[in-house]
Amino acid sequence: MPITLLVHITYRVNVEYDAIDPQSFQVLKEVHYYISDDKTHDSLFVQHAFTLHWGYMKNKGCFPK
């Protein structure tokens, strides 16, 4: 059974970065996977995935400038 895998990688600045803390990172990398087994998917699948990701970013307080 074929599937579609859309990977969305986001890099963002860590607003809680602490240069003293060795466990703190200045840039955060987040990977989101969207999987579909619909053989007739089209651009609506991609649009839906981006809408989900945009909602996630809004909840994190991240907005592009």
pLDDT in tens, 1-58: 778 788 889 888 887 788 888 778 888 898 998 888 877 767 888 888 889 888 888 8
**65: pLDDT confidence band, cut at 50, 70 and 90?**
low
- Are 4 and 40 in contact by the 8 Å Cβ rule? The answer is no
**Can you say how many angstroms the Cα of residue 60 is from the centroid of all Cα atoms in its chain?**
11
CA distances from 64 to 29, 57, 60 (A): 16, 10, 12
Please report, for the chain, the start and end positions of each structural domain, with discontinuous segments joined by +: 4-60
